[in-house]
Amino acid sequence: MALDLRQAPRPPSQEVSGHALVARGVAKSFRGKKTIRAVDGVSLHVRRGEIYGLLGANGSGKSTLIRMFSTLLSPDSGDVRVFGHDIAAEELAVKRLINRVSVEASFFKKLSAMENLIYAGRLYGQTGSEARARARTILRRLGIADDRFDEPLEKLSRGMQQKVAIARAFLTAPMLLLLDEPTTGLDIRSKREVQTFVRDLRDGHDATILLTTHDLDEAERLSDRIGILHGGRLVAEGSADELAAQHGGADLEAVFMTVTGRRLEDADTPEDRAR
Amino acid sequence: MVLSDQPKLAYAFIAREVALMKRYWLWEIVWIVYGAVTSLSVAYIGLAAPAISGGQVDEAAVRRFVLYLLVGTIAWRFLGLVFENIAEIIAWERWEGTIEYTFMAPVPRLTHLAGMCGGTIVRALVISLTTLGAVALFVPVDLSRANTLSALGLLAVGTVAFIGLGIGSACFPLLWTEKGLQMAYIVQAVVLLVSGVYYPTTVLPGALQALSVISPATYVIEGMRRALLDGADLASLWPFVWPALLIGALSIPVGLRLFVWAERFAKRTGRLKRSG
């Protein structure tokens, strides 16, 4: 079944340019007993219609960056523009253009998938019946059986909850979709289904996707371009082939090791995780 | 989105609150039973006044005393629910894990809070009216002299003031993720103590009497008593209406300003997330 995102209200297109997202010199520190510089002067751009993969170990700054792009966290310095809108000065305009799927499904646990999705649709200006119709289409497309629509979310498996989270993001037809480790914790089958859906979304619709992952295979499989984050800094950027050519690695794993000095799985140090 | 879209956006929160009430129906029954039992216990203290005091108390005085106590307990039930529900806006969403999605949505904060206040009033009305019905089954209530409209008018004014207090207290969990909600509950407890819910504020020590002056519940509950016990009309209740109105007129803009400031602070410090 085809998923027609164009049924949903779209933002005015006058701001749409070649870049969906432009970040310049973005930095963020957290003060505690010890100040942690989570993101350290990151500059990147995501072209309209591309899937940009941010690859990094736990604590490399990926989620902090995504949270800043989602308007949930204010950068200490630097600026971020989404389709030309400044995230600080034009927050509501940016919010209309984005949506996000995080590593946790994050729902009202006692409400059903349908109730959660209708609530989400209403927050983006849809009526209850519009949201219900669109939610039904998307849930079916994601392989969720009709008889599960009205069950409390807490009774669905982790994989199904994550699919509902993806449905929530698609429901609002975002121009820029921020996927923060959307497949972490999923079984292989659910992971593949989500990855296929992400690709279909990009190929069949006018969506730009920024994906964070610490899965090398996922980054390579899904991304047109990949940025490698390490210690809060963007240490390499390009397509998988470009990265291999630039850094002399046979594959992405070798590139990661060259540019960070560590293997991806070894890079998850306690200090990194504190970021 | 334009101004005319805002009621539709606000309705999202009302519909969500109603859906949550339905899904948590067993807990709502617990709150209703708890409220009814508390109100009944207070009413029975009134009915037992002659036995407790050991003196002669005539029947009319007992009836008046019971109604005096019931007005306090039912009005406080309603206002307390309004305060609690709004003060828990952040903590509840953080507990559910939905806070990031609600705050990422393209909904102006004023619309968000207006919707939450609408949902809160629906919930407080359902619980308070059911509690009142349950109490009326067990305790005879003499409303022969009551001016119900005046009492409801005062309650409406008090609701506005409590919405402002609730919004202001909802900031605490944004500022202190681990102990913010506890602070809000302490505010609520102090308001209960100083507002004359079960007794005239004149029995309080001087410092607490000073606090009672700034509590909207002091004016609302005393005014409601005069309306329901003595049939006072709204015009004669003006000395109780204007202070509650003034507190509402101040607390809502101040509460909103605080909330917006606290949200900015939370965004700067990384507190706007599910786990604190």
Cβ proximity of B176 and B183 under 8 Å: yes
Q: Which of B100, B105, B108 is closest, CB to CB, to A106? A: B100
Q: What sign has the CA pseudo-torsion B85, B87, B89, B94?
A: negative
Neighbours of A33 (CB within 10 A): 5
**Pairing outcome for strands A98-101 and A51-55:** unpaired
| Max CA distance (Å), chain A | 54
Q: What is the mean pLDDT of chain A?
A: 86
pLDDT of residue A30: 92
* CB spacing of B8 vs A111 below 8 angstroms: no
DSSP A52-118: EEEE--TTSSHHHHHHHHTTSS--SEEEEEETTEETTTTHHHHHHHEEEE-SS----TTSBHHHHHH
Question: Does the beta carbon of A245 lie under 8 angstroms from any beta carbon of chain B?
Answer: no
What's the rounded Cα separation, in Å, for the pair B171 and A253?
45
Cα A5 off chain centre by? 18
| Confidence tier at A255 by pLDDT (50, 70, 90) | confident
Rounded CA gap, A258 and B106, in Å?
42
A17-52+76-226: CATH number: 3.40.50.300
Q: Which residue of A has its CA nearest to B16?
A: A119
DSSP letter assigned to residue B214: T
How many angstroms separate the CA of residue A106 from the nearest CA in chain B? Answer: 5
Query: Can you give the pLDDT at residue A273?
Result: 46
- Beta-strand relationship, A85-86 and A77-82: antiparallel
**Which positions 30-69 of A are in contact with B (Cβ < 8 Å)?**
30-31, 64, 67
Nearest CA in chain A to B9: A123
Residues in A closer than 8 angstroms to B15, CB to CB, are 118-119, 122, 128
Percent of the residues in chain A that have a pLDDT greater than 70, as a whole number: 90
Contact B19 A115 (CB under 8 A): yes
Digit-coded pLDDT (tens) for B201-251: 999 999 999 999 999 999 999 999 999 999 999 999 999 999 999 999 999
pLDDT at B17: 95
Cα A206 from chain centre: 16
The residues, any chain, with a CB within 8 Å of residue A23's CB and separated by 6 or more, are: A42, A43, A44, A45, A65, A69, A78, A79, A80, A81
Residues 6 or more apart from A14 whose CB is under 8 A from it? Answer: none
A85 CB near a chain B CB, below 8 Å? no
- 3-state SS class at B274: coil
Q: Is 70 exceeded by the pLDDT of residue A2?
A: no
B274 contacts in chain A (CB < 8 Å): 104, 106
pLDDT tens readout for residues A123-141 = 999 999 999 999 999 999 8
Cβ distance of A71 and B104 shorter than 8 Å: yes
Burial class (CB in 10 A: 0-12, 13-18, 19+), B54: exposed
| pLDDT tens readout for residues A3-62 | 444 444 444 444 445 899 999 999 999 988 889 999 999 999 999 999 999 999 888 999
Cβ-based neighbours of B21, under 8 Å, separated by 6 or more: B28, B123, B126
Quote the CA–CA distance of B81 and B124 in Å, as a whole number: 6
| Secondary structure (3-state) at A274 | coil
CA separation, residue B269 to residues A29, A81, A83, B56, B85 (Å): 9, 21, 26, 63, 25
Predicted-complex ipTM score: 0.88
Note the pLDDT tens digit of each residue in B20-47: 999 999 999 999 999 999 999 999 999 9
Chains A–B, number of C-beta pairs less than 8 Å apart:
97
Tens digit of each residue's pLDDT (9 = 90 or more) over B166-215: 999 999 999 998 888 999 999 999 999 999 999 999 999 999 999 999 99
Which of residues 102 through 131 in chain B touch A, CB cutoff 8 A? Answer: 102-108
Residues 78-97 of B with CB under 8 A from A: 96-97
Asked if residue B125 has pLDDT above 90, the reply is: yes
Candidates B174, B193, B188, B191; CA nearest to B272 is B174
Contact B100 A95 (CB under 8 A): no
Domain boundaries, chain A: 17-52+76-226
Chain A contact set for B106 (CB, 8 A): 92, 95-96, 123-125
At B206, the amino acid letter reads G
Give pLDDT tens digits for A147-206.
999 999 999 988 889 889 989 998 988 999 999 988 887 888 888 888 888 888 777 777
Question: Which of the 8 DSSP states describes residue A183?
Answer: T
